[in-house]
Amino acid sequence: MDSIASFLTNMADEAEAKPGREAGATAATERKPRGAAGFKSAEQGFPLMPVGEAFDMGHAPDGTPLLDPRIFDAPEFYRNPYPYYKIMRDHYPVYFDKLHNCYYVTRYDDITACYFDDEGFNTIPKGSSSGVLGNTQLELSGVEHRRRRNLYGQHLVGKSLDNRLHAIQSIAEEMIDDFANLDESIKQDRNGVRTIDVGRAFANEFPIRVVCDVLGFPKESRKDFYYWYNSMMSGLGGSETHHQGLEARQHLEEYVGELVEERRKNPTYLYDANGKPVSKDVISKLCESQVDGDYLSTEEITSNIALVVGGGGETTRGAILNMGYLLLQHPDQFKAVMEDDGLWDSAFHETLRHSTPIGGQPRHNSFDIELHGVKVPAGSLVNMVDFSANHDERIFKDPETFNIFRPDLYSGKLLRSGYRKEGRCSHMAFGVGPHLCPGAWISHQEAVIGSKILWHKLKNPRINVEKMPKDIDGASLAPIGLISVKELWIDYDLN
């Protein structure tokens, strides 16, 4: 989905240039070990600092802190990025990284302005996603982008989204009710207490099942669906896995080709809790869609589906795990959402502000620009660092603090225009403007509904600290950093 440009374009185009992951690290990047012995940063010369403190790289004669771009490749930056982003925001709001030949825009206001500048920053780097995902609208702009985006985006908002809520709820309940049958590698029962990894037990597969269902794939195709998703996402991360991603894309196209031909003749439907059809599934809808009076080709439908497949998992997975990890470390806030379901929206938005699994969006500027005294030649790679925008103290007070009650964060309906009114601003996890992720609304519903059902069904849940990765002291829980939580081991009571 569009705002997975960090997930797709950044990962593919910049996999060889490590800072690309800085602006959009995702599931395609394996999380580095986070135990005390897991971080090896001596080769970069950057020691691991206490969270919130930056390593001193020296100062200019006027006292300005210096920034060595090699930090972007270091494990220290993965686990403790925000003090370095603060240095960039305060002293290098447009930072030219000579080592990796790209620019970083790090302030909230500047990133917002760039996202809305459809002339100056209207192109996402070419070729970054089309190899694996096919001819999607990610790399388009203007009228052609809007037309492509609306082909499937209209099925993931408003009334269409409401028709899919039952599927989200029923899939969540089905998966959670089946925890007793989980493989022993991710579930252990001892003395009335069950220990599970929420990632493998629920969060990793839940959004994929939802996407599979709302698209209209038969249930028997789930195993193939997981293969397509995992392989294509890995294929975006670099040359080693690119071939597997291309094979998965070809397999998907062959399968969808047969499905599309059947759906053109016999559309299929989504059903409500009473078994009544409420709307056609997305594949059936795409089969009816026309552009300039012509029906979409099978290849065009497959590309749209591939994009939904690609964007349908990581954001929701990361949001569910990060939200659980953060709430369980803040018991007063966890108690509050358990007592007031209306607070889950606030918890979702604060999670995406504090620890978003979506890092940012890369752009090429159409012509020479100058921003904060930095001249950016036309055609440069410019990374809009949403990680940093969400922690900009010019917008959010005490940005390193996780607080679902913060008065400066907008927690209402996601708006393409963003929200900035009466001292409240929306987070930047899905971007704003023309390329705001059209899957943002369904990701929101999946994460909120799935989390609400999950934590209400589990009695007295708490983090199993022993099984979780530790920070550099070997005792405290590891920070989330740039990459979302991959596993969340919890205990809960069975009686």
| Count of Cβ atoms closer than 10 Å to residue 253 Cβ | 19
- Please tell me the chain's helix, strand, coil percentages from 3-state DSSP, rounded to the nearest 5: 45, 15, 40
CATH number of 2-493: 1.10.630.10
Please give the residue that has the higher pLDDT: either 306 or 271. 271
Map tokens 């603060």 to a residue.
86
Please give the residue that has the higher pLDDT: either 140 or 258. 258
Mean pLDDT of the chain: 82
DSSP 84-151: HHHHHHHH-SEEEETTTTEEEE--HHHHHHHHH-TTTT-BPPTTSSHHHH-S-GGG--HHHHHHHHHH
Contact 367, 120 (CB under 8 A): yes
Q: How confident is the model at residue 130 (pLDDT cuts 50, 70, 90)?
A: low
Where is mean pLDDT largest: 104-113, 254-263, 314-323? 104-113
The pLDDT of 239-263, averaged and rounded, is 82
Contact 441, 41 (CB under 8 A): no
Instruction: Report the chain's terminal Cα–Cα distance, integer Å.
Output: 42
The pLDDT of 218-235, averaged and rounded, is 79
pLDDT at 135: 55
The pLDDT of 437-446, averaged and rounded, is 79
Instruction: At 210, list the tokens.
Output: 């939802």
The pLDDT of 153-167, averaged and rounded, is 63
Residue 481's closest CA among 50, 24, 81? 81
The pLDDT of 457-470, averaged and rounded, is 97
Domain boundary assignment for the chain? 2-493
Where is mean pLDDT largest: 208-212, 215-219, 252-256, 444-448? 444-448
Q: How confident is the model at residue 309 (pLDDT cuts 50, 70, 90)?
A: low
Q: Please give the Cα distance from 72 to 106 (Å, whole number).
A: 14
User: Which backbone phi and psi does 104 adopt, to 5 degrees?
Assistant: -120, 130
Instruction: List residues bridging with 196 in a β-sheet.
Output: 187, 490
Please give the residue that has the higher pLDDT: either 10 or 286. 286
Cβ neighbours of residue 491 under 8 Å, at least 6 residues apart?
Answer: 193, 194, 195, 461, 462, 463, 464
- Give yes or no for residue 275 having a pLDDT over 50: yes
Instruction: At 331, list the tokens.
Output: 């018991």
Q: How confident is the model at residue 237 (pLDDT cuts 50, 70, 90)?
A: low
Q: How confident is the model at residue 385 (pLDDT cuts 50, 70, 90)?
A: very high
Contact 269, 278 (CB under 8 A): yes
- How distant is the alpha carbon of residue 314 from its chain centre? 5
Long-range contacts of 294-299 (CB under 8 A, 24+ apart): 296/151, 298/253, 298/256, 298/257, 298/260, 298/261, 299/134, 299/135, 299/253
Contact 216, 283 (CB under 8 A): yes
Q: How confident is the model at residue 277 (pLDDT cuts 50, 70, 90)?
A: confident
CB-neighbour burial class of residue 23 (10 A; exposed 0-12, middle 13-18, buried 19+): buried
Cα–Cα distances in Å, from 231 out to 27, 138, 360?
11, 19, 22
- Give yes or no for residue 466 having a pLDDT over 80: yes
Instruction: At 482, list the tokens.
Output: 């740039």
Contact 208, 310 (CB under 8 A): no
